[in-house]
Amino acid sequence: MNIQLNSKNALVGAATQGIGAGIATELAKCGANVTVMARNEEKLKNFVASLPVLHENQKHQYLVADFSDFEDYKKIITEYFKNNTIDILVNNSNGPDPGVALDKNVDDYQKAFDLLFKTVCETTSLALPYMIKQNNGRIINVSSLSVKEPIANLALSNSIRSAVIAWSKTLSIEVAKHNVTINNILTGYFDTERIKNMISHEAQQSGRSEDEIKKGREDKIPMKRLGKPEEYGHLVSFLASKYASYITGTSIPLDGGLNNTY
């Protein structure tokens, strides 16, 4: 199987590091023109310059956008779609602050909803008209295993990501007749800055060392290691390709077997 995404335009959120960077890099390796979104322009410039270019028609670009400010994000993403069309949308953003449910209030949940749900809904609604018109498109949502079983200390993420899954499943049924597929990836533990921050926060809360917490997480995974960002990119590239044209409305665990232990 040789995945070729030449001439396809992809938009990837939160893509200067971690999972987003792994996705953007693998899509570029398959020949796609990649637009990466994040809030730090300097990091975006450096990352775009590092993306592989396989042919003379392949071009990459960046979009400065802060997912945590929805009203500003809405203006930026609306302006982007006035001049751009995409074939592959990867909805990915930084996660909300960790913490337990008893420590969160309604404003915290509203901010998390803006970050994780409203940005996904807005971006998807702007991408869909072109996809429907061309009778083809791929939408891939970066989600979490927490939609199957809540993860301790992630009350905000647990709650809002479940809403995204239900919404995307509903939408996938409505757009399937247009050959637009919508799938979710349920993320396990990957070697990223996000997991390091979560481990650090847990260490502060529990009094245990970061190494102890990391090993505890790895021990729960049947493969006994954290995932690599490029491994995430491999699955996204497949779902974005013609080989996944009959896969839609699914939520696929990517977790080294962790899901099977629930």
pLDDT of residue 261: 52
* DSSP letter for each residue of the chain: -----TT-EEEESS-SSHHHHHHHHHHHHTT-EEEEEES-HHHHHHHHHHS---STT---EEEE--TT-HHHHHHHHHHHHHH---SEEEE--PPPPPB-GGG--HHHHHHHHIIIIIHHHHHHHHHHHHHHHHT-EEEEEEEEGGGTSPPTTBHHHHHHHHHHHHHHHHHHHHHGGGTEEEEEEEE--BSSHHHHHHHHHHHHHH---HHHHHHHHHHHSTT-SPBPHHHHHHHHHHHHSGGGTT--S-EEEESTTGGGG-
pLDDT single digits (tens) 232-259? 999 999 999 999 999 999 999 999 999 7
- Tell me, what's the pLDDT at 7? 94
pLDDT tens, residue by residue, 90-114: 999 988 888 899 999 999 999 999 9
Report whether pLDDT(89) > 70.
Answer: yes
| For range 135-156, the mean pLDDT | 93
- Which pLDDT does position 260 carry in this prediction? 64
The domains found in the chain, sorted by start residue, are 9-190+227-255 (3.40.50.720)
What is the per-residue pLDDT across 14-60, written as a single tens digit (0 to 9) for each? Answer: 999 999 999 999 999 999 999 999 999 999 999 999 999 999 999 99
pLDDT at 205: 83
Q: Please report the pLDDT score of residue 29 as a whole number.
A: 98
Q: Kindly state the average pLDDT of the residues 63-76.
A: 97
Q: What is the pLDDT of residue 224?
A: 95
Q: Which one has a higher pLDDT value, 12 or 146?
A: 12
Q: What is the pLDDT of residues 178-219, one digit of tens each?
A: 999 999 999 999 998 878 887 887 888 888 999 999 999 899
pLDDT, residue 152, reads 84
pLDDT of residue 262: 45
Q: Specify the pLDDT at position 167.
A: 97
